[in-house]
Structure 1
Amino acid sequence: MSKLTPLPLVILASALMVTACASSRRNPELAYVERPVEQLYNQGTDRLDRRDYTRAKLFFEEVERQHPYSEWARRAMVMSAYASYRARDYTTSISGAQRYLSLHPGGSEAEYAYYLIALNYFDQITDVGRDQATTESARNAFLEVIRRYPESEYARDARVKLDMVNDQLAGKEMTIGRWYLRSNQTLAAVNRFRRVVTEYQTTSHSEEALHRLVEAYLTLGLRDQALAAGATLGHNYPGSDWYRMSYQLLTNEGLNPDAVDDTTRRSFLQRLIPGGN
């Protein structure tokens, strides 16, 4: 779903500080031949530039193997995970980033490692007709980035992607809720639509969810709840087609959502939708 993320600035800056010699730009055999750490690391970044992600990962692993206690080994661990991400080997990338965090939780690359885990899940998001476990994992991972590093550039991007993730999850809830409604499993449908309104109220699905609640509550004979949902829909989206449909349904039942004042609406919402306003 996302474009390929550029090489993280903090790591790229470190790589650019190393002066690569001509021999490090060749394709050496990856047998164990002891080489300077800078040469190995530079060969890895060079392979990244060439989009040879498999070979890049091998060079970064060689940095760890030959120079395990160096600062470069720590950086190479994250770079290896990044190379796996670019190769779409998501499982390996996630495990590599998690390994870095377990060994260096306070390392300078930890911020990016958390973000990289989230990107791996984000890129695996499928359409709403399929299981959304990976989407949930992406949501949790982006929230972790925001919680730990709220002012970082990664947190800013995480917030943007989190909106997309939430819209996806809300869409899944709506798909299931509509199916329940068509199958006359109205209470089950209500739970799905309520979740959209309470947990994903800023998504594009909130309007329809409120309308579907009007439909469902009227089916159940819960007129006050239907009126509360309709009044909320009219308050937040007064010109929407969903409100026009809800308004017609309610007035056909002798209910007027326009007559509900803010105090009554808030009172309804406190009982109906936790955190509503």
Structure 2
Amino acid sequence: MTHIEATASSAMERLGRMGAATLRVALLCSLVALAGCLGKESDSDEPDIPAGELYNQGLKLMSEGKLRQANTRFGEVDKQHPYTEWARKALIMQAFTNYRLGKFDDCIESAKRYVALYPASPDAAYAQYMIGQSYFKQIPDVTRDQESTQRAIAAMQEVVERYPTSEYVDDAQKAIIFARDQLAGKEMQIGRYYLERREYTAAINRFKTVVTQYGNTRQVEEALYRLTSAYYAIGVVNEAQTAAAVLGHNFPDSTWYKDAYTLLESKGLSPSENKSSWISKAFQTVTGLGGGA
């Protein structure tokens, strides 16, 4: 008879001598004890692998290009030996292998957990950078929703602000510039759509967003030209002239300025900046560049 069987048999004998009033309580206690025996016996059948051994297995598999198996090993370190130094190291490697496997959502989850658990770790900046990179890799073209772009900017901004001396700051700043240009491109795409449909007010609002919020992106030149065109179309000539003038003052060699100049000239007009215009004020505030005299 096994130890488990003996425990169950002894419990039944005791139950036979008890009154009905205590029967249910005694039975519950016996089942709890039995479950404990089962758990211990199961654990002894499958003992935990030492954390260092599991971690090194993961490194070896990764060096062999077996990223999925390596990822599993790193995950086992965290499961079997949570909140240990080995678990900390395994968690950052799990985030890395998820990224290499293209499992960007899993990478984000692992990296966010790492930053939350180990904010002062030397690898925290790298974990935050991987979050940004994972969102960055999921940025769609400008015709689609740009939620991932917004999240990429926010994550990379965290790298810049929380870890200003880290080696990832330069790359994070470049990623932010690219992502902001993407958001500006989305506004331009919608604005052009409205312009083609002659919904000029809606188009102007989109181009205004580019000038006021994304004035330091490459999209601003076209935005100023489109404002010239849209304002002229609705008869707000002074704003059309201001948009063209600001474009010419700051981007004199731009093909968009040449187009804006030609458009106004064909109507007997020329670029002329109104300093009180929102275009003049907003552009100077956003870009730090002044208009002409």
| Aligned residue number for residue 110 of structure 1 | 124
Once the two structures are TM-superposed, the CA of residue 72 in structure 1 deviates from its matched residue by 1.7
Residue 226 of structure 2 aligns with an amino acid whose one-letter code is R
Within the alignment, does 1:61 sit opposite 2:71 as a pair?
Answer: no
Within the alignment, does 1:206 sit opposite 2:232 as a pair?
Answer: no
Q: Is the 8 A contact 1:78 1:96 kept in 2?
A: yes
| Aligned residue number for residue 192 of structure 1 | 206
2:248 to 221, 231, 234: 234
Within the alignment, does 1:86 sit opposite 2:100 as a pair?
Answer: yes
Deviations 1:25-46 (A, max 9, x none): xxxxxx9553333222122122
Residue 136 of structure 2 aligns with an amino acid whose one-letter code is F
1:126 to 140, 164, 167: 140
Once the two structures are TM-superposed, the CA of residue 116 in structure 1 deviates from its matched residue by 0.9
Q: Is the 8 A contact 1:198 1:274 kept in 2?
A: no
Deviations 1:113-140 (A, max 9, x none): 1111111111111211222111111111
CA RMSD of aligned residues (A): 2.2
Larger radius of gyration: 2
Residue 76 of structure 2 aligns with an amino acid whose one-letter code is E
Q: What SS is found at the alignment partner of 2:252?
A: coil
Q: 2 CA distance for matches of 1:107 and 1:198?
A: 38
Q: What SS is found at the alignment partner of 1:153?
A: coil
Q: Is the 8 A contact 2:195 2:203 kept in 1?
A: yes
Residue 250 of structure 1 aligns with an amino acid whose one-letter code is L
Q: Is the 8 A contact 1:111 1:145 kept in 2?
A: yes
Once the two structures are TM-superposed, the CA of residue 198 in structure 1 deviates from its matched residue by 2.3
Q: Is the 8 A contact 1:186 1:216 kept in 2?
A: yes
What is the TM-score normalised by the length of structure 2? 0.76
The change in CA–CA distance for 1:268 and 1:57 in structure 2 (over 3 A counts) is closer
Q: What SS is found at the alignment partner of 2:238?
A: helix
2:152 to 138, 158, 172: 138
Matches within 5 A, 1:1-277: 33-257=47-271, 260=273, 264-265=274-275, 269-271=279-281, 273=283, 275-276=285-286, 277=290
Q: 2 CA distance for matches of 1:211 and 1:50?
A: 55
Q: 1 CA distance for matches of 2:282 and 2:159?
A: 32
Once the two structures are TM-superposed, the CA of residue 222 in structure 1 deviates from its matched residue by 1.5
What is the TM-score normalised by the length of structure 1? 0.80
Q: Is the 8 A contact 2:211 2:282 kept in 1?
A: no
Deviations 1:215-272 (A, max 9, x none): 0111122222111111111011112221111112223344322x54xxx547654556
Deviations 1:54-93 (A, max 9, x none): 1111111122223223212112112111111111111211
Identity of aligned residues (%): 44
